[in-house]
Amino acid sequence: MKLGVVGLGRMGSNMRERLREKGHDVVGYDPNPDVSDVRSLEALVEALPAPRAVWVMVPAGAPTRQVIEQLSRLLAPGDVVVDGGNSRFTDDKVNAALLAEHDVRYVDCGVSGGVWGRQNGYALMAGGHEDDIARLLPIFDALRPEGDRAYSFVHAGGIGAGHYAKMVHNGIEYGLMQAYAEGYELLAAEESIADVPAVLRAWSQGTVVRSWLLDLLVQALSEDPGLGSISGYTEDSGEGRWTVEEAIAHAVPAPVISAALFARFASRQDDSPAMKAVSALRRQFGGHAVRSAEPVEVA
């Protein structure tokens, strides 16, 4: 089928290529003329036959909202917009309402797979009305890995459910990464372990902890066995925060996901104000900070 794609960064352009390889007719628009197929959003809309389908793949938040607003004015009743970015699920109801004023349909779709998706296929979590999902199935089927649809695609629920599922996916991802990372650090701290990368590589097959993330860590360690080239400064991209906030909203204990999130926060601090306060307290009550050679300090 014919599809418009708005946003041709790494993800958008990779998806355009995968869709074309699978036989779909994709028209892409990006402000960067080097990658764009058309000169404007208006041109993209004109290039599509009604009822149109437009997949938006731009950064979450204001950029996505801006594109949705522009599309609401350009599209016609019966057209459908898919937000495939990492939007917060709370944005979806607003986006849908904006488009609904013009009788334009809306589907949210969480996309997982990163740069590997172009080759392996992307996992897709969609939210919206069943009719709209049905209409987009050829696109979903082309984007996802081949094989049984149920293993890489889900119609998770109404509008917002796709991004909700993707948010939880990413929250879990935070926890998984931190679990491997703690194990890695412990192995690296234990002198009896002769070759830490070799231990992790040996977990690749047959173990309970085998996973794609483990494969990636093995790959990273094969490129840089001591990770000497990599800083521990670690960004977080929003979904981890939202997951913990949703856990709080639902009174769901989330000690692991929140610990993983806080570890990222801490990784970005040169010196922790909290730990300065702890140090200050220790100095106050016991003179611990003095580090003198006195026989005993009891507090």
- Verify binding: residue 174, a copy of itself, rule CB under 8 A: yes
Q: Give least dist CB 51 to a copy of itself, A.
A: 25
Q: Residues 243, 257: contact at Cβ < 8 Å? A: yes
CB closer to a copy of itself, 78 vs 287: 287
Fill in the per-residue mask, 175 to 204: x = in contact with a copy of itself (CB under 8 A), - = not in contact: xxxxxxxxxxxxxxxx-xxxx--xx-xxxx
Positive or negative, the CA dihedral 61, 3, 162, 32 is negative
- From the list 37-45, 74-82, 85-93, 98-106, the region that binds a copy of itself by CB under 8 A is 85-93
CB closer to a copy of itself, 51 vs 60: 60
Which of these is catalytic: 69, 173, 191, 294?
Answer: 173
Which amino acid, one-letter code, is at 124? L
- Residues in Cβ contact with 64 at an 8 Å cutoff, skipping those fewer than 6 apart: 56, 58, 83, 85, 87, 91, 95
- From the list 19-27, 45-53, 98-106, 287-295, the region that binds a copy of itself by CB under 8 A is 287-295
Counting every residue, how long is the chain?
Answer: 299
Contacting residue, 2, 39, 73, 268, with a copy of itself by CB under 8 A: 268
Count other C-beta atoms under 10 Å from residue 277's C-beta.
Answer: 10
State the helix-helix crossing angle for 255-267 and 239-249, rounded to 10 degrees: 140
Q: Give least dist CB 183 to a copy of itself, A.
A: 4
User: How far is Cα 299 from Cα 297, in angstroms, rounded to an integer?
Assistant: 7
The verdict on whether 246 is a catalytic residue reads no
Structure tokens at 41: 């959003």
Contacting residue, 40, 66, 90, 207, with a copy of itself by CB under 8 A: 207
Window 33-72: residues binding a copy of itself (CB under 8 A): 57-60, 63
CB closer to a copy of itself, 77 vs 219: 219
Q: Residues 184, 232: contact at Cβ < 8 Å? A: no
Which of these is catalytic: 42, 166, 182, 276?
Answer: 166
- From the list 19-27, 36-44, 73-81, 149-157, the region that binds a copy of itself by CB under 8 A is 149-157
Q: Give least dist CB 67 to a copy of itself, A.
A: 10
Q: Give least dist CB 103 to a copy of itself, A.
A: 23
State the helix-helix crossing angle for 161-189 and 89-100, rounded to 10 degrees: 160
Q: Which residues make beta-bridge pairs with 56?
A: 6, 83
Window 86-115: residues binding a copy of itself (CB under 8 A): 86, 89, 111-115
- Residues in Cβ contact with 25 at an 8 Å cutoff, skipping those fewer than 6 apart: 1, 2, 3
Which amino acid, one-letter code, is at 163? H
The verdict on whether 22 is a catalytic residue reads no
Contacting residue, 91, 107, 164, 225, with a copy of itself by CB under 8 A: 164
- From the list 72-80, 98-106, 117-125, 131-139, the region that binds a copy of itself by CB under 8 A is 117-125
Q: Which residues make beta-bridge pairs with 25?
A: 2
Q: Return the active site residues.
A: 166, 173
